[in-house]
């Protein structure tokens, strides 16, 4: 992590911000951030224990602006959840088919084609595919799935398969993981979404998702993917039974893996929604906790280029605010997201138009930048037309 600078006048943020941070109870962590020193486990735990959300946000924003300036990235994407049948029985999940819950389905290749054809008029950059673990699907199904997407939307980047899906695909293929990943790449797979990390500790694993991959398996699968040239994201599901210490452990395990491979692009904190799950007694996360998770993720994961505020799970207003609490990405248009149904239930398609998404970013005081899944900037006339010219006013520094 590079030094931001020891000169407050030259660093991101106002003089008032720096003075506030220098005089507060987190002043030693501020010094580390300014000097580019890595935060320790004890530092991370203090951040989670702190009630000063203003200081946490200001610290995270220093790092956010040093890495990404005033940019907020977004993508035009479409989600495909090809089956909701799953044999893992995770206590935190409301997506999989179960008695009293969603009806079971498996998408045929024709179903996939129809869903993609419905958005033919939209220049979708990313097709995002994740689903349940259904053992009756053969290895060829996954290859056909990639082939179908590639044939229908040849210009779109395919981001697909969480680590537990990859482990299932490898089991079906009966080949080494490296060989399976290379074959999936040959059929169009371009990156991985990074879901399913949950909390990377054995206690939480055994308590609420014991049939899924272990922390070690998740990390090793991700690192293997990175080594064959597939970038991925990394998630953290927070707000259920995890402790503050376990949140810090999770972040440090991700940071260590990133030191080893450099393959993670984005950290995505995922707010737990208990409705329809076996943990329905746990209340919904608050905006306070959502912003805190984003800020602390930005501070601890010094080797991650980006932090995302996923508007679908924390609401658009909180995702906007998060752009000043460490996030530099707000995800995308998200056509047909089915993993959680808490947000925007009246809109069956669960999506934001590009115009509204760009407007949200501008309203938050950031500069919207359309990207592809690898953070290559996309320049299109229709995107540029949504961003009005606005004068840059130099405000005097507070004394």
Domain layout of the chain by residue ranges: 71-384
Q: Which of 2, 12, 5 is nearest to 57 (CA)?
A: 12
Cα separation, 32 vs 39, whole angstroms: 7
Q: Would you state the pLDDT for residue 380?
A: 77
Q: Which CATH number fits domain 71-384: 3.40.30.10, 3.60.21.10, 1.25.40.80, 3.20.20.70?
A: 3.20.20.70
Q: Would you state the pLDDT for residue 152?
A: 97
Helix (H) or strand (E) holding 115: helix 109-117
Mean pLDDT by 10 residues, the chain (399 residues): 52 80 94 96 98 97 97 94 86 65 88 94 93 94 98 97 97 98 98 95 94 95 98 97 98 98 98 87 96 98 97 92 97 60 40 86 96 94 66 42
* Burial (CB count within 10 angstroms: exposed 0-12, middle 13-18, buried 19+), residue 37: middle
CA dihedral sign, ordered 167, 313, 149, 233? negative
The DSSP output letter for 343 is S
User: Helical H runs in 272-353?
Assistant: 287-300, 311-314, 316-321
Q: Which residues pair with 129 in a beta bridge?
A: 80, 160
Helix (H) or strand (E) holding 369: strand 367-370
* Two structure tokens written together for 250: 């999770």
Q: Would you state the pLDDT for residue 344?
A: 39
The DSSP output letter for 214 is -
Print burial letters for 153-186: b (CB count within 10 Å at least 16), e (below 16).
beebbbbbbbbbbbbbbbeebeeebeebbebbbe
């Amino acid at each position: 992590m590079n030094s931001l600078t020891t000169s407050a006048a030259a660093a991101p943020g106002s003089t008032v911000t720096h003075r506030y941070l220098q005089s507060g109870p987190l002043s030693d962590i501020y010094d580390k951030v300014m000097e580019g020193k890595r935060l320790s486990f004890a530092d991370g735990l203090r951040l989670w224990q702190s009630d000063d959300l203003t200081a946490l946000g200001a610290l995270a924003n220093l790092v956010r602006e040093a890495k990404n300036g005033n940019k907020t990235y977004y993508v035009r994407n479409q989600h495909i959840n090809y089956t909701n049948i799953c044999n893992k029985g995770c206590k935190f999940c409301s997506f999989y088919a179960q008695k009293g819950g969603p009806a079971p389905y498996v998408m045929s290749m024709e179903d996939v084609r129809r869903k993609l054809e419905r958005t033919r008029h939209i220049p979708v950059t990313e097709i995002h595919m994740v689903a349940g673990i259904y053992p009756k699907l053969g290895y060829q199904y996954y290859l056909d799935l990639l082939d179908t997407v590639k044939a229908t939307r040849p210009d779109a980047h395919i981001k697909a398969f969480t680590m537990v899906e990859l482990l299932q695909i490898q089991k079906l293929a009966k080949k080494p993981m490296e060989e399976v990943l290379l074959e999936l790449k040959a059929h169009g797979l371009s990156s991985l979404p990074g879901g399913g990390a949950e909390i990377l500790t054995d206690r939480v694993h055994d308590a609420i998702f014991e049939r899924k991959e272990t922390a070690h398996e998740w990390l090793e699968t991700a690192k293997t993917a990175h080594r064959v040239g597939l970038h991925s994201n990394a998630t953290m599901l927070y707000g259920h039974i995890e402790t503050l210490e376990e949140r810090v452990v999770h972040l440090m395990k991700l940071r260590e893996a990133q030191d080893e491979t450099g393959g993670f692009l984005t950290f995505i904190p995922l707010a737990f929604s208990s409705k329809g799950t076996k943990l329905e007694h746990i209340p919904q996360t608050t905006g306070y906790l959502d912003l805190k998770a984003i800020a602390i993720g930005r501070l601890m994961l010094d080797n991650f280029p980006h932090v995302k505020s996923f508007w679908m799970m924390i609401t658009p207003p909180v995702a906007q605010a998060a752009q000043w609490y460490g996030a530099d990405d707000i995800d995308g248009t998200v056509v047909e997201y089915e993993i959680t149904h808490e947000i925007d239930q009246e809109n069956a398609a669960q999506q934001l138009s590009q115009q509204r998404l760009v407007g949200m970013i501008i309203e938050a005081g950031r500069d919207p930048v359309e990207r592809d899944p690898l953070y290559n900037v996309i320049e299109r006339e229709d995107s540029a037309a949504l961003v009005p010219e606005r004068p840059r006013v130099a405000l005097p520094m507070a004394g």
